[in-house]
Structure 1
Amino acid sequence: MSYEPPAPPANLPTEIVNTLNESEPEQLRDVATYAQALAEHKEREARLEESTDQEEVEERPDELPDDVPSKATITIKEINDNRYYYWQWRDGNRVKSKYGSPVNPDE
């Protein structure tokens, strides 16, 4: 292990570097754990958004269930070789879904 402090990444803002340099080792470990979990969460959200954009969106019926907002759209998802209708909508930075019904295979 080197006696020199590690060099921060070039793209890390100075105020973050300064805050980290002033932190205790236990706080730094907590920050590292949180940063890793946050990065994984944001990557998961990006994948969800990408997969939502790629889903087949159908024309929405006139009547929505009571707990589905009017901005929701009907999406077809395939799960284990079965196709299902789901209502999907954005709620802040999240995409929410609610099961609708199975897709009729005769369509």
Structure 2
Amino acid sequence: MSDPPKYILEGLEKQSPETLREIAQIATEMADRKESQREAELEEQEVDDQPEDLNCDNAPSSATLTKKEINGNQYYYWQWREGEKIKSEYIRPVDPKR
């Protein structure tokens, strides 16, 4: 886990214990919501039919093939979970001619 930004810590330091507990609850709810959104995105992006020319030998263990759209272009990525984090590894464009 990385350290929170200094400006956040400085602001928290000025708060009462009651306010800090409220902030902790809000932060926990926010983290849960973001994790749920990330899970939903992962499920939506899974590719059903894997391209025949895609080499799976180099795929990370337990990775699934996903498609991501960036600036109107689609790309293949490997995606997998390491603990609480979702990791991605770029493969190539969906349309190799682009």
- Structure 2 length normalisation: TM-score? 0.67
Matched-pair contact (CA < 8 Å) for 2:46–2:64 = no
Matched-pair contact (CA < 8 Å) for 1:76–1:86 = yes
Indicate which of 54, 60, 63 corresponds to 1:72: 63
Instruction: Quote how far apart the aligned CAs of 1:105 are.
Output: 5.6
Indicate which of 24, 36, 57 corresponds to 2:26: 36
Instruction: Quote how far apart the aligned CAs of 1:71 are.
Output: 1.0
Instruction: State the match for 1:63 in structure 2.
Output: 57
Number of corresponding residues: 79
Task: Give the unaligned 5+ runs of structure 1.
Answer: 1-24
- RMSD after superposition: 2.2
Task: Give the unaligned 5+ runs of structure 2.
Answer: 1-14
Aligned positions of 1:77-96 closer than 5 A: 77-96=68-87
Q: Distance in 1 between matches of 2:23 and 2:93?
A: 41
- Structure 1 length normalisation: TM-score? 0.62
Structure whose CA Rg is larger: 1
Q: Distance in 2 between matches of 1:34 and 1:98?
A: 33
Instruction: Quote how far apart the aligned CAs of 1:92 are.
Output: 2.1
Instruction: Quote how far apart the aligned CAs of 1:72 are.
Output: 0.8
